[in-house]
Amino acid sequence: MDGYLVISIVVILAALLAAGGLFFMFRPSAKKLPPVDTPPAGGGGEEEEQGGGTATATLAPPAPPVEELVKPPEVEVPPPSAGRMVRLRARLARSQTTLGKGLLELLSRDRLDDEVWDEIEETLITADVGVAPTRAMVEELRTKVKVLGSRTPKEVRGLLREQLLTQINPGLDRTLHTSAPGERPAVLLVVGVNGTGKTTTTGKLARSLIGDGKSVVLGAADTFRAAAADQLQTWGDRVGAPVVRGPEGGDPASVAFDAVSRGISDKADVVIVDTAGRLHTKTGLMDELGKVKRVIEKRAQVDEVLLVLDATTGQNGMRQAQVFAEVVNITGIALTKLDGTAKGGIVISVQRELGVPVKLAGLGEGPDDLAPFDPEVFVDALLGEA
Ligand SMILES: Nc1nc2c(ncn2[C@@H]2O[C@H](COP(=O)(O)OP(=O)(O)OP(=O)(O)O)[C@@H](O)[C@H]2O)c(=O)[nH]1
């Protein structure tokens, strides 16, 4: 019986060894693996096919790790801000020359009677210049025309140019405060009614500052609308500016605080905080913006409060601007959509009403269509070529 058992074990072992041997002889070889489907690089794929027969020739190169296939988004290098208003002058000319040409035509008439002066006044008021500045301009023009007697087109243009410039006041300091004393970043707070172009202006401004060689951190304190933070994120990603954001409906002041803290720790040059500024009630607005400003000031001074105003909204926009001015100390105005209105006179009335200079002009929807406001370029675009 024992002998029978021993023989059985030996037979089983022999069968196992034989099976193992067969497996190693016929196991699928790495050489026969299907080629990995990778795009041919530099003609290498063709060479491999021509080599046919040898194992190395049929082997495809190892697939790159997945992370390598996901390319990081390309960071754009925006152009500097200098000379932008000149570059965008055609946009202004297209929308504003109705005003300029209308005034030039009226002032060039042989007889300047009361009716014509009324028309001049009307043209200025229609273009949102505002009643008081219109009266001042008309009075000055009347006196100068009397002194001049007969007028050549060049003289008329010169007179009007001088008057418009006087009202716009080229002497105002339009510098955007983007350099802070000491180590900390400059802090810019962007306020305004939704839809005026606030988020777009924040994004464009970040681009233009980066184009001027500054580093920027963006704060998406418009937590009221998630899309606004996404929009800002896209702007930031395009130029490599970090965007600090919070949960939808979260506390805007806390996002603003975090953004400024990030700017300080990153040693950034500028932090721009985009706010929601919903104009539900004046007290609500005051609470929200007041808190954002107070909380930021725990970390750094706010160097610039930029009010974004839509030039196409006329007197309604002006009223909204006044509410913001009562709530927060505005230091500059970004006038958007100047490319889409003939009412460029709003530059004059808004400065006069708020006592704050227009510092930036929005002249289109393109990423680089925001320019430092230049009064002379503006007036020349308005009046057309001399
Ligand atoms: N033509 C023209 N369009 C502009 C200009 N600035 C902004 N816009 C457009 O105005 C629209 C509103 O801009 P947003 O930046 O979303 O406005 P917002 O004030 O931030 O509004 P919320 O995101 O709701 O807070 C967008 O379609 C912009 O492209 C400009 O200077 N010219």
Say which CATH number the domain at 250 has: 3.40.50.300
Query: In this structure, is residue 225 part of a structural domain?
Result: yes
Q: Output the CA angle 104-106-107, nearest 5 degrees.
A: 65
Provide the H-helix boundaries in 78-128: 84-87, 89-107, 114-126
Query: In this structure, is residue 254 part of a structural domain?
Result: yes
**Helix 131-148 and helix 114-126, axial crossing angle in degrees, nearest 10:** 140
Q: Residue 209 C-alpha to ligand 1 middle, in angstroms?
A: 19
166 annotated as belonging to a binding site for a ligand: no
The overall average pLDDT reported for the chain is 82
Measured from the CB, is residue 263 less than 6 Å from ligand 1?
A: no
Query: In this structure, is residue 325 part of a structural domain?
Result: yes
Has the ipTM of the complex gone over 0.90? Answer: yes
3-state secondary structure of 238: helix
Q: Find the range with the poorest average confidence among 84-98, 158-172, 287-301, 327-341.
A: 84-98
Element spanning 381, H or E: helix 375-383
Query: In this structure, is residue 270 part of a structural domain?
Result: yes
Q: Which residue has the higher pLDDT, 374 or 151?
A: 374
- d(CA 369, CA 88) in angstroms, rounded, equals 7
196 annotated as belonging to a binding site for a ligand: yes
What secondary structure letter does DSSP report for 345? T
Strand-pair partners of 92: none
Count of domains observed in the chain? 1
End-to-end CA distance of the chain: 124
Q: What does the pLDDT average to over 137-145?
A: 92
Are the C-beta atoms of 86 and 375 separated by less than 8 Å? Answer: no
Per-residue model confidence (pLDDT) at position 279: 66
Range of 253-257, 277-281, 316-320 with top mean pLDDT: 253-257
Per-residue model confidence (pLDDT) at position 384: 81
Q: Whose CA is nearest to atom 14 of ligand 1?
A: 197
Query: In this structure, is residue 132 part of a structural domain?
Result: no
Ligand 1 atom at minimum distance from 276 CA: 25
Q: Output the pTM of the full model.
A: 0.79
Query: In this structure, is residue 289 part of a structural domain?
Result: yes
CB atoms within 10 A of CB 113: 8
Query: In this structure, is residue 101 part of a structural domain?
Result: no
Range of the domain at 321: 186-330
Strand-pair partners of 333: 307, 358
Query: In this structure, is residue 323 part of a structural domain?
Result: yes
Residue 385 confidence (pLDDT) above 90? no
73 is written with which tokens?
């988004």
Measured from the CB, is residue 91 less than 6 Å from ligand 1?
A: no
- d(CA 358, CA 332) in angstroms, rounded, equals 6
171 annotated as belonging to a binding site for a ligand: no
Confidence of residue 11 (pLDDT cuts 50, 70, 90): low
Range of 10-24, 52-66, 136-150, 254-268 with top mean pLDDT: 254-268
Q: Which residue has the higher pLDDT, 72 or 35?
A: 72
Q: What does the pLDDT average to over 256-279?
A: 93
337 annotated as belonging to a binding site for a ligand: yes
Residue 255 confidence (pLDDT) above 60? yes
